[in-house]
Amino acid sequence: MKPALLTLLLSIAGCGTSIPFDQELTLKRPTGLNVVALSGRRMQVEYYVQNQEDTFDGYNLLISRVSIGDSEVFTQEPLIINGSVPTFLHSSSEFNVSALRTVIIDRLTNVLPFEVGTTYFFRIQAHSRKGVRSEGSNEVQVTALP
């Protein structure tokens, strides 16, 4: 093969994203989710940034009034707080399994507050800037307080 043709083929093969293909398809499943009901129909969500993949850009928070099964994790719409997914924005550089992240959620959606006495189910999942979603974390169920 001529050197010029070889150079052209190598340059074409190198075009596109610098993110390795295998990292675009999978993200590590987060663990250790905790949710605490607070007075005033608020929920305190606690988690650690556990993902180091190059494509990782945060966590989706999934909330439901029924248990969120493994198959529902990929079809359920995540809570949107900042106008887009993921719910909680992070990057792989924020990886720290020793630093607990705490977020107070006071509404199930932009218009509906948590209902007193109603049990809610929570899971988080890692999200990538390529739209890949990980398997869901452990499920936590919490009953809203007045």
Q: Which tens digits make up the pLDDT trace of 39-87? A: 999 999 999 999 999 899 999 999 999 999 999 999 999 998 878 899 9
The pLDDT confidence band at residue 22, using thresholds 50, 70 and 90, is low
Q: Which two tokens stand for residue 142?
A: 């919490």
Q: Which domains does the chain have, with CATH numbers?
A: 20-143 (2.60.40.10)
Q: Which of 140, 138, 136, 139 is nearest to 60 (CA)?
A: 136
Of 103, 137, 125, 104, nearest in space to 56 by CA: 125
The total number of residues shown for the chain amounts to 146
pTM: 0.82
**What are 87-118's pLDDT values in tens digits?**
999 999 999 999 999 999 988 776 688 999 99
Phi-psi category of 41—alpha, beta or left, where left has phi over 0 and alpha has psi -120 to 50? left
